[in-house]
């Protein structure tokens, strides 16, 4: 809205200039009353411009106040992503006063870049970006900035040369998530006198901040506690790839006793592969499976013990993104980085809590009631 208004104002200003120059005549031909008429026309436009731009939000309200939001979503690779998309669609609905343009990039960055360019062409009011990987965004975010369209990063983070290329970010801290899992595993191994940990790390989408942080959390713990990370391979946050990678790992190694899956869908695939090979998972099994996301299906596996620990990564960012947009609409200051914390869920009560950099995080034992109360 703001941009269109400016264009109208500039046109009016040009009309005044042209008028004075006398379309069809030289500047000194325009009669006095013509100039006066043009000036008052320009004044009207100027007043309109000041009024509208001065209080755009009200102006938006006055003409239906529909706020157009373009959302570039990673894809539909996991239960987490589905819950995230639903949260965004439910929040930016027509009845809530939005025109929501949703684009599924099928986990390809080039599709996200195309989507953002389309949003700029359509002159949306806000762009939401859930970036598949952290790098490669500078050029397209500069185009959005040049077009005066605020960009809010959702979930994973971007690594850009100039952080004025985005207005704000809302999401979770994957390094903290990885550290929570690492400390939980340390405490659990001690409680069960597990001397040797030979770990398979089924990683998320390589280069996404979710994968980078969770992998780092594991590697730090392995270094600190003398664990053996036997193999690291990406499962691309999907169940199919998680199963395929686990099948391959089982063929190559027979000493794995911990499988660190960087999201629930990889864990579902890995568990299928492990059980198909005749091995078992769980507190009394051949392998312990660690996971992230704490989706409903994930916590169901924690209840049975198939997943022994599941670190929450909350996907319900719709209301959080909307809160930022409402503040921007009202001209209020907003935080650049908006962190969302999560719980640690486990099978049984072996570990009460973990402490990371001086902060204690309680562990929640999964029961039917715990699952019943979950929002996703
Ligand atoms: C985490 C998010 C990850 C989830 C996966 O913040 O980016 O992407 O852990 C999802 O389930 O695919
Ligand atoms: Zn049990």
DSSP letter string, 195-247: ---EEEEEE-STTSHHHHHHHHHHHHHHHHHT-EEEEEEE-TT-HHHHHHHHH
Q: What's the CA gap between 307 and 286, in Å, rounded?
A: 13
Selected from 3.40.50.2000, 3.50.50.100, 3.40.190.10, 3.40.50.2300, the CATH number assigned to the domain covering 174-314+341-372 reads 3.40.50.2300
Which tokens hold the place of 335?
């935080």
| Ligand 1 atom with minimal separation from the 265 CA | 11
pLDDT at 204: 98
Angle at the Cα of 272 from the Cα atoms of 85 and 275, rounded to 5 degrees = 155
Which pLDDT tens digit goes with each residue over 247-303?
Answer: 999 999 999 999 999 999 999 999 999 999 999 999 999 999 999 999 999 999 999
- Mean pLDDT, residues 9-29: 42
- Cα(362) to centroid(ligand 1), Å: 22
How many residues can be counted in the chain?
A: 376
Which pLDDT tens digit goes with each residue over 317-333?
Answer: 999 999 999 999 999 99
pLDDT at 58: 46
- Counting ligands in written order, the one closest to the CA of 350 is 2
- Mean pLDDT, residues 120-134: 98
Determine if ligand 1 sits within 6 Å of the CB of residue 263.
yes
What average pLDDT is seen over the chain? 89
Contact, 291 vs 264, CB < 8 A? yes
- Counting ligands in written order, the one closest to the CA of 210 is 1
- Cα(191) to centroid(ligand 2), Å: 14
Identify which of 154, 210, 234 to mutate to test ligand 1's pocket (most ligand atoms within 8 A of the CB). Answer: 210
Which tokens hold the place of 19?
């008028």
Angle at the Cα of 329 from the Cα atoms of 46 and 61, rounded to 5 degrees = 65
- pLDDT band at residue 211 using 50, 70 and 90 as cut-offs: very high
Which tokens hold the place of 257?
């006793």
Identify which of 293, 307, 320 to mutate to test ligand 1's pocket (most ligand atoms within 8 A of the CB). Answer: 293
Determine if ligand 1 sits within 6 Å of the CB of residue 241.
no
| Ligand 1 atom with minimal separation from the 77 CA | 12
pLDDT at 41: 45
- The strand ranges marked E within the chain are 67-73, 98-104, 126-129, 151-154, 168-171, 198-203, 228-234, 258-261, 288-293, 309-312, 337-339, 344-346, 353-356, 359-365
Distances (CA, A) of 269 to 152, 181, 209, 307: 33, 19, 22, 12
Is residue 244 over pLDDT 80? Answer: yes
CATH for 67-171+316-339? 3.40.50.2300
| 67-171+316-339 against 174-314+341-372: fold identical | yes
- pLDDT band at residue 65 using 50, 70 and 90 as cut-offs: confident
pLDDT at 305: 98
Is residue 73 over pLDDT 60? Answer: yes
Is residue 46 over pLDDT 90? Answer: no
- Mean pLDDT, residues 52-71: 65
Which pLDDT tens digit goes with each residue over 94-114?
Answer: 999 999 999 999 999 999 999
Is residue 240 over pLDDT 50? Answer: yes
Residue having the nearest C-alpha atom to atom 2 of ligand 1? 210
- pLDDT band at residue 52 using 50, 70 and 90 as cut-offs: very low
- Cα(220) to centroid(ligand 2), Å: 28
Q: What's the CA gap between 9 and 50, in Å, rounded?
A: 9
Which pLDDT tens digit goes with each residue over 147-202?
Answer: 999 999 999 999 999 999 999 999 999 999 999 999 999 999 999 999 999 999 99
- Cα(303) to centroid(ligand 2), Å: 8
pLDDT at 53: 45
- Cα(80) to centroid(ligand 1), Å: 6
With H, G, I as helix, E, B as strand and everything else as coil, classify residue 125.
Answer: coil
Q: Are strands 98-104 and 67-73 parallel, antiparallel or unpaired?
A: parallel
- Mean pLDDT, residues 47-69: 57
pLDDT at 9: 53
| Ligand 1 atom with minimal separation from the 80 CA | 11
Is residue 63 over pLDDT 50? Answer: no
| Ligand 1 atom with minimal separation from the 237 CA | 12
pLDDT at 10: 52
pLDDT at 35: 47
| Ligand 1 atom with minimal separation from the 172 CA | 6
Determine if ligand 1 sits within 6 Å of the CB of residue 78.
yes
Domain boundaries, the chain: 2-54, 67-171+316-339, 174-314+341-372
Which tokens hold the place of 166?
């985005």
Is residue 54 over pLDDT 60? Answer: no
């Amino acid at each position: 809205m703001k941009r269109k208004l400016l264009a109208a104002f500039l046109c009016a200003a040009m009309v005044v200039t042209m008028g004075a120059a006398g379309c069809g005549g030289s500047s000194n031909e325009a009669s006095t009353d013509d100039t006066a008429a043009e000036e008052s026309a320009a004044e009207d436009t100027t007043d309109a411009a000041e009024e509208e731009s001065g209080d755009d939000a009200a102006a938006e309200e006055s003409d239906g106040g529909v706020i157009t939001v373009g959302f570039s979503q990673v894809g539909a690779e996991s239960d987490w992503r589905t819950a995230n998309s639903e949260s965004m669609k439910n929040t930016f609905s027509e009845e809530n006063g939005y025109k929501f343009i949703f684009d599924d990039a099928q986990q390809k960055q080039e599709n996200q870049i195309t989507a953002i360019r389309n949003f700029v062409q359509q002159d949306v009011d806000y762009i939401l970006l859930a970036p598949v990987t952290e790098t490669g965004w500078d050029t397209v975010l500069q185009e959005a900035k040049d077009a005066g369209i605020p960009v809010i990063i959702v979930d994973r983070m971007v690594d850009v040369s100039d952080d004025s290329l985005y207005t704000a970010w809302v999401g979770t801290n994957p390094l903290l998530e990885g550290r929570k899992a690492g400390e939980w595993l340390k405490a659990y191994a001690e409680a069960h006198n597990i001397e040797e940990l030979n770990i398979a790390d089924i990683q998320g989408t390589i280069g996404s901040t979710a994968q980078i942080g969770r992998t780092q959390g594991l590697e730090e713990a392995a270094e600190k506690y003398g664990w053996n990370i036997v193999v690291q391979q990406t499962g691309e946050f999907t169940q199919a790839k998680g199963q395929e990678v686990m099948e391959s790992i089982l063929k190559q190694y027979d000493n794995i006793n911990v499988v660190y899956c960087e999201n629930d869908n990889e864990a579902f695939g890995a568990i299928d592969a492990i059980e198909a090979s005749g091995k078992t998972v769980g507190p009394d099994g051949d392998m312990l499976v660690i996971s992230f996301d704490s989706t409903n299906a994930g916590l169901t596996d924690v209840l049975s013990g198939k997943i022994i620990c599941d670190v929450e990564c909350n996907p319900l960012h719709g209301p959080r993104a909307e809160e930022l947009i409402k503040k921007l609409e009202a001209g209020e200051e907003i935080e650049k980085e908006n962190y969302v914390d999560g719980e640690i869920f486990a099978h049984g009560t072996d570990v009460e809590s973990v402490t990371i950099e001086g902060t204690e995080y309680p562990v929640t034992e999964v029961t039917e009631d715990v699952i019943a109360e979950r929002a996703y």
